[in-house]
Structure 1
Amino acid sequence: MQVILRKDVQNVGEAGDVVTVKDGYARNFLIPQNVAEIATAGALKNREQNLARIKAKQEKLHQEALELAQRIEALEKLELSARAGESGKLFGTITTKKLAEELNAKLGTSIDRKIISLDAAINKVGEFRMLIKLTSKVKTELPVIVTASEILQSEIEEAPETEEAAE
């Protein structure tokens, strides 16, 4: 089925594109979510009239994404501190939500966690890479360095003393 996309859809196309998708995907997801409309003669005519406006909007978003990518790359790295055991394994996992919160705090932006992807789960101390896909054409990578928090290391050292004192 041919549809006209109203919004950018990952792995399908950008707003204003006429794409062919499976009928079920169009009927059950794209159209009910108001992400696309069926490519009828009238809809195609409206698309042609609005094409200049859509392209201008996409260009503006592309420029904003490039500026944000430069600001992210200027950070050079994102350092996080988390509670970890002696072996370097974290108590929990650092999620894309946490990474987005840290980026937003440092840059003063509103980056959504859904545009951040990781090669592997961050569940130990070390260096990782995160890919930030700002638009379909603008992507940037940023190293994430995870260290064990100093507070926990001192707690581990003090813990045997307090246990002996309790006995």
Structure 2
Amino acid sequence: MLFFFHGLESGPHGSKYQLIKRAFPELISPDFQGMDLPQRIEKATAETEGLTGVTLVGSSFGGLLAARLYSLYPERFKSLVLLAPAVHTEEGDKVSELPPASRIRVIHGNADEVVPHAKVAAFCKRFGIPLITVEDEHRLSSETSQQAMLAALDEVYTGV
């Protein structure tokens, strides 16, 4: 199973969802609009209850949600793709566990003015996972970023 967790200011069917859905029609994207992190964790917990082998794609605040959910229920998840994840907050400090480097990809724009690149780099270093840096801003809308997202999914979702 493949889930997409959207960010704070987007919805469940934005441009990243559309891009991924074209390549992976089985993509599921719960609607977290208007929810704070505890509400999102509660809803995502219910959505993934009883599942195993799930891959999560999380964008910005959805990336923080995906990382926190993995920490809470690692047995449910096979892999993660985190896109400009908002892990630069105290909530990011609560992430205690992530998949091994072979099953996680973190993609971040070097010109991101919303989530500091250095903070995401430090987060990745803390867990010993590589950071894929792209020439882009927070939205990761460049063709290079989109190709990196699909390549990451090919590696950790279809390739694992």
TM-score range, shorter chain: under 0.3
For normalisation by structure 1, the TM-score amounts to 0.22
For normalisation by structure 2, the TM-score amounts to 0.23
Query: Structure 1 or 2: larger strand share?
Result: 1
